[in-house]
C-alpha cells in the first residue's frame, strides 16, 4: 500500500478540474496549494521572494519560474507532514523537473498525478451549454432555452473571451500535457478518460477507484 501525500491534479481549462480538486482535497484531506495565493501571501509578508514577485505582479507580468519554484518549495517543506494537492502547478516540464529536484533535497517526492483527460469535443459542448440571461443575468450550465428566473430566452455565455480561452487551451496542450508524460515515465500517473457527459460525482467515483487501485498496486 503506497502512502500518498503529494498529489498533482492535471486537467484542461473547463474540464471540471475545480470540482474534482475540491473532491480530492476533502476525500484525502489534502491542503490545496494555490501559487497565486502563495505569491500574494509572500508579497504581503514582505519576504525576499515576495518582493521579487511583486515587481512582476505590479507590471502584470508572469512571475518567473525560479521565484514561483522557490515559494512552492518553501511551502512544501513547511507542510511536509500534510497531504497536499498541487493544482495548476507544475505548469511546465521545467517546473516539474525543478519541483522533483527540490522535493528530493527535502527527502520528498510527488506521489501521484491525477490526469483528468476530458475530450476536447466534450469541453466544447460544455462551453456551448453555458448560458446567460440577457435580462436578469442568471447563468446556467445545462443549455436552458429560457431563463429559469424570468423566462427570457437565454444566450450562450460570452464572459469567457473565446480567444483567451483558445490560448489557455493551446498553452495547456503544449506546456502542461508534457508534464503528464514526465510523470508517466515515473509510473505515477492515474488517468481518467472522460468522453461522455455525466455527473461530476460519477467522475469523482472513478477517480477514487483509480487512486485505490494505484495505491494498492
Ligand atoms: Zn432572467
Is the whole model's pTM more than 0.75, yes or no?
A: yes
Ligand 1: centre distance to CA 18 (Å): 26
The answer on pLDDT for 43 being more than 80 is: yes
Q: Which residues are catalytic?
A: 17, 91, 130, 157, 168
Domains of the chain: 6-212 (3.40.50.300)
Among residues 189, 172, 143, the alpha carbon closest in space to that of 14 is found at: 172
Ligand 1: centre distance to CA 154 (Å): 8
Ligand 1: centre distance to CA 168 (Å): 30
Mean pLDDT of the region 10-37: 91
Ligand 1: centre distance to CA 58 (Å): 38
pLDDT tens, 185-210? 999 999 999 998 888 999 999 999 99
Amino acid at each position: 500500500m503506497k502512502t500518498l501525500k503529494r498529489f498533482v491534479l492535471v486537467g484542461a481549462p473547463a474540464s471540471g478540474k475545480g470540482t474534482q480538486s475540491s473532491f480530492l482535497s476533502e476525500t484525502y484531506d489534502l491542503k490545496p496549494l494555490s501559487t497565486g495565493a502563495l505569491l500574494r501571501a509572500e508579497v504581503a509578508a514582505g519576504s525576499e521572494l515576495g518582493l521579487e514577485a511583486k515587481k512582476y505582479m505590479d507590471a502584470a507580468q508572469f512571475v518567473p519560474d525560479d521565484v514561483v519554484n522557490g515559494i512552492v518549495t518553501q511551502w512544501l517543506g513547511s507542510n511536509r507532514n500534510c497531504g497536499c494537492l498541487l493544482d495548476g502547478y507544475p505548469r511546465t516540464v521545467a517546473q516539474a523537473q525543478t519541483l522533483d529536484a527540490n522535493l528530493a533535497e527535502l527527502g520528498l517526492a510527488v506521489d501521484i498525478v491525477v490526469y483528468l483527460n476530458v475530450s476536447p469535443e466534450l469541453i466544447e459542448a460544455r462551453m456551448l451549454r453555458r448560458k446567460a440571461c440577457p435580462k436578469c443575468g442568471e447563468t446556467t450550465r445545462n443549455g436552458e432555452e429560457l431563463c429559469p428566473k424570468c423566462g427570457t430566452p437565454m444566450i450562450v455565455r460570452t464572459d469567457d473571451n473565446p480567444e483567451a480561452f483558445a490560448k489557455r487551451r493551446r498553452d495547456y496542450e503544449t506546456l502542461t500535457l508534457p508534464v503528464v508524460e514526465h510523470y508517466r515515465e515515473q509510473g505515477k500517473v492515474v488517468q481518467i478518460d472522460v468522453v461522455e457527459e455525466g455527473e461530476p460525482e460519477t467522475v469523482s467515483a472513478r477517480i477514487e477507484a483509480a487512486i485505490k487501485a494505484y495505491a494498492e498496486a
